[in-house]
């Protein structure tokens, strides 16, 4: 394993992790400085990420018996560390404009999260990846539950952490299976060499964990609740980083998917299905953040599809373009939530007119999300679809249908925010501030530029950023025309789109998970607790009580008769003694009389004995 510039790598991950932990634990003392310090640190992280992308550092050390700990920046990781660093800086800048988020706890947790994400995308072994992967989950819990008095947010945080952790069990099993299959170092690059059936266990574990983290089917529901958290959290975690980590992992282990045979096409189909179904879920939403969340699942579906279809580069450019686009959209939604106090589409009528800069940047993002030419996601999605077509026309068909759906939900959101302001305004969910912070404007503008222009990446990029096969001209034209047509049609029907309950309720998977997993587990837990108290513990107490009772019974039935027997012997002896005392009168004549009787008896005895002989 080549090792160079290890200090750079250590700095890249240690700066956000250490500073984040310190800020998060410093308490209220750190609140005053938290926002500026976090922005400076994010800039440092971005600079370190840039240096790492150029210098390609690597390090490797022993972790546990035979298991290695390694970090390295290759082409894929370089893209990811730059994406994470860039989005982190943009998001922290915008968050600095929200008074409720200017705390040490918020800044610390965001940095801690970013550090964990940086470790995840640079890890070269499963052990390190799993460590960072789980820390991401835990910090996301704390960030979604940032508003601690909001019971619904706390519940949503539980759902998010427990769902992703359940999927993470796959990584624990994959690690064990890798050791069993002879890959003692747990190196990600070596996993395809696992022997025998263990190869399939490793693959299943990795795939399940990745699908859970990326909110792909059937795990998508946790992302819906996660929208209760602050909008900048969604802009970082639920667009560019955490949910993207699953897709990243699948892109990283693409050789493993191929080695296992079945896994590549299974993953591709899950991605395609998520892109289509969650796209439809997005269409049915009436809450802007919910719409964006469902569209995140759908767009990450393309990356997962790419991983399964062997289009690693296509998936990577899709990831980068989507990160810029979606964090822009979440930040804009957050700006409106602060300024107008609502995220209901009905309440956001006229939002784009009221805050034009936010409106224009949001529109650029939404048009890119819709796949309108020549914006970024139009190109990158077609790169993914080209890879899919290479594998199977059916996959391509589902993918292009999902592209049309993407145009529908994007156009729907755009239509609402560009409507004239509604006279009968919806009651806001929180107190509107009426303005957008100045500090939020530059990041929105930069992200809009990126969302528009990152489509150039596949044209200019090399290596991991140069998709092969490149989409054919007819594919690009077809998807552009389809997206435009779907968007135009939606513009006319925007407030009359059907919203069946199954789609607006995110396919009902959360309810099913509650009914099939959560409630039975809780029922089993309380049944076992009752068993513990009323059977096991009672049995022990009963054994003790039985011992005492047996002792008492022994005392009554055994000890008393025994004692009575001993007493009887004593009493008998005493009676005999009393009788024996009788002759002891102390009077001489009575002794003579006794002696003469005694002699007489002896004499008679002697006579009898002689006679008998």
What residue ranges bind another protein (CB under 8 A)?
Answer: 25, 27-28, 62-67, 127, 130-132, 134-135, 138, 141, 145, 148-149, 151, 154, 157-158, 161-162, 165-166, 169, 172-173, 175-177, 179-180, 184, 521-522, 524-526, 528-529, 532, 536-537, 540-541, 544
E strand or H helix that includes residue 565: helix 560-581
- Cβ-contact 67, 184 below 8 angstroms: yes
Question: Of the two residues 40 and 154, which places its CB atom closer to another protein in the complex?
Answer: 154
Burial class of residue 541 (count of CB atoms within 10 Å of its CB; 0-12, 13-18, 19+)? exposed
Question: Minimum distance from CB of 189 to another protein (Å)?
Answer: 19
Q: Which is nearer to another protein, 179 or 386 (CB)?
A: 179
Q: Judged by CB, which is closer to another protein: 21, or 489? A: 21
Query: And the tokens for 234?
Result: 């969604």
Please give the Cα distance from 404 to 525 (Å, whole number): 46
Give 149 or 581: the residue with its C-beta nearer to another protein.
149
C-beta closer to another protein: residue 179 or 358? 179
**Is-contact 119 71, C-beta < 8 A?**
yes
Indicate the residue among 67 and 345 with the shorter CB distance to another protein: 67
- Which residue lies nearer to another protein by CB, 169 or 597? 169
The nearer residue to another protein, 63 or 439, going by C-beta atoms, is: 63
Largest CA distance in the chain: 153
* Residue whose structure tokens are 């990356």: 303
Give me the least distance between CB of 35 and another protein, in Å please: 19
The answer to whether 280 touches 503, Cβ cutoff 8 Å, is yes
Element (H, E) at 72: strand 67-72
**What residues form DSSP beta bridges with 125?**
187
- In whole angstroms, the minimum distance from the beta carbon of 257 to another protein comes to 21
Name the burial class of residue 14, with classes exposed (0-12), middle (13-18) and buried (19+) by CB atoms within 10 angstroms of its CB.
Answer: middle
Nearer to another protein, 138 or 484 (CB): 138
In angstroms, how far is CA 190 from the centroid of its own chain? 26
- Pairing mode, strands 58-64 and 67-72: antiparallel
Q: Taking the complex as a whole, how short is the minimal distance between the CB of residue 6 and another protein, in angstroms? A: 15
Do 257 and 250 touch, CB atoms closer than 8 A?
A: yes
Nearest-approach distance from CB 180 to another protein, in angstroms? 3
Q: What is the CA radius of gyration of the chain?
A: 39
In the bound complex, what is the minimum distance in angstroms from residue 205's beta carbon to another protein?
10
Minimum distance from CB of 328 to another protein (Å)?
31
Question: What is the nearest approach in angstroms of another protein to the Cβ of residue 118?
Answer: 14
Q: Residue 8 or 67: which CB sits closer to another protein?
A: 67
CA distance 317 to 118: 18
Phi and psi angles of residue 59, each rounded to the nearest 5 degrees, phi first:
-150, 160
Question: Omega into 374 within 30° of 0, i.e. cis?
Answer: yes
Report the residue number, 184 or 397, with the smaller CB distance to another protein. 184
Other Cβ atoms less than 10 A from the Cβ of 456: the count is: 14
Taking the complex as a whole, how short is the minimal distance between the CB of residue 362 and another protein, in angstroms?
33
Closest approach, Cβ 232 to another protein, in A, equals 21
Which residues are paired to 287 by β-bridges?
Answer: 344
The residue with tokens 């699908």 is: 211
Judge whether 264 and 310 are in contact, CB under 8 Å: yes
CB of 174 to another protein, least distance (A): 10
Q: What is the DSSP string of 319-370?
A: HHHHHHHHHHHHHHHHHHHHHHS--BTTTTTTHHHHSHHHHHHHHHHHHHHH
Task: Give the span between the Cα atoms of 288 and 234, in whole angstroms.
Answer: 12
């Amino acid at each position: 394993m080549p090792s160079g510039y290890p200090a750079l790598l250590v700095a890249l991950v240690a700066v956000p992790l250490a500073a984040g932990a310190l800020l998060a634990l410093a308490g209220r003392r750190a609140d005053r400085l938290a926002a500026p310090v976090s922005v400076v640190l994010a800039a440092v992280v971005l600079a370190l990420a840039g240096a790492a992308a150029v210098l390609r550092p690597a390090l490797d050390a022993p972790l546990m018996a035979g298991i290695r700990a390694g970090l390295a920046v290759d082409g894929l990781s370089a893209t990811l560390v730059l994406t994470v660093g860039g989005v982190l800086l943009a998001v922290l800048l915008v968050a600095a404009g929200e008074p409720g988020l200017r705390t040490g706890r918020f800044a610390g947790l965001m940095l801690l999260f970013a550090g964990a994400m940086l470790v995840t995308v640079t890890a070269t072994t499963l052990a390190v990846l799993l460590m960072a992967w789980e820390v991401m989950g835990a910090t996301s819990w704390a960030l979604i539950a940032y508003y601690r008095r909001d019971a619904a947010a706390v519940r949503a945080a539980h759902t998010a952490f427990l769902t992703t952790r359940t999927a993470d069990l796959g990584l624990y099993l994959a690690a064990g299976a890798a050791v069993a299959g002879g890959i003692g170092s747990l190196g990600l690059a070596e996993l395809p060499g696992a022997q025998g059936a263990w190869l399939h266990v490793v693959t299943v574990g990795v795939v399940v964990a990745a699908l859970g983290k990326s909110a792909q089917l059937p795990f998508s529901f946790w992302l819906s609740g996660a929208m209760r958290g602050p909008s900048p959290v969604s802009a970082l975690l639920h667009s560019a980083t955490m949910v993207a980590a699953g897709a990243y992992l699948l892109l990283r282990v693409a050789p493993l998917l191929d080695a296992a045979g079945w896994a590549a096409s299974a993953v591709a189909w899950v991605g395609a299905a998520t892109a289509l179904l969650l796209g439809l879920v997005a269409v049915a939403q009436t809450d802007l953040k919910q719409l964006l969340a469902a569209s995140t699942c759908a767009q990450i579906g393309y990356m997962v599809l790419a991983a399964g279809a062997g289009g690693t580069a296509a998936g990577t450019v899709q990831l980068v373009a989507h990160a810029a686009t979606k964090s822009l959209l979440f930040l804009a939604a957050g700006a409106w939530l602060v300024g107008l106090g609502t995220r209901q589409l009905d309440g956001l009528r006229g939002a784009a007119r009221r805050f034009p800069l936010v409106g224009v940047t949001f529109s650029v993002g939404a048009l890119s999300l819709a796949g309108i030419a020549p914006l970024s996601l139009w190109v990158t999605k077609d790169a993914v679809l080209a890879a899919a077509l290479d594998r199977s026309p059916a996959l391509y068909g589902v993918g292009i249908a999902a592209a049309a759906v993407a145009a529908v939900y994007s156009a729907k959101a755009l239509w609402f925010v560009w409507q004239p302001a509604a006279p009968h305004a919806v009651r806001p969910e929180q107190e509107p501030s009426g303005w957008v912070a100045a500090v939020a404007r530059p990041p929105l503008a930069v992200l809009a530029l990126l969302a528009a222009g990152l489509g150039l990446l596949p044209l200019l990029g090399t290596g991991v950023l140069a998709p092969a096969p490149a989409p054919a001209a007819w594919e690009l034209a077809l998807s552009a025309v389809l997206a435009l047509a779907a968007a135009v049609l939606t513009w006319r029907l925007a407030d009359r789109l059907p919203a069946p309950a199954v789609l607006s309720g995110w396919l009902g998977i959360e309810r099913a998970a509650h009914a099939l997993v959560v409630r039975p587990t809780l029922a089993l837990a309380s049944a076992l607790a009752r068993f513990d108290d009323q059977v096991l513990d009672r049995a022990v107490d009963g054994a003790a009580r039985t011992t005492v009772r047996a002792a008492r019974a022994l005392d009554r039935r055994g000890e008393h008769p025994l004692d009575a027997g001993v007493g009887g012997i004593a009493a008998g002896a005493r009676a005999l003694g009393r009788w024996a005392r009788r002759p002891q009168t102390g009077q001489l004549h009575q002794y003579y009389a006794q002696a003469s009787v005694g002699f007489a008896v002896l004499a008679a005895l002697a006579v009898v004995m002689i006679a008998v002989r």
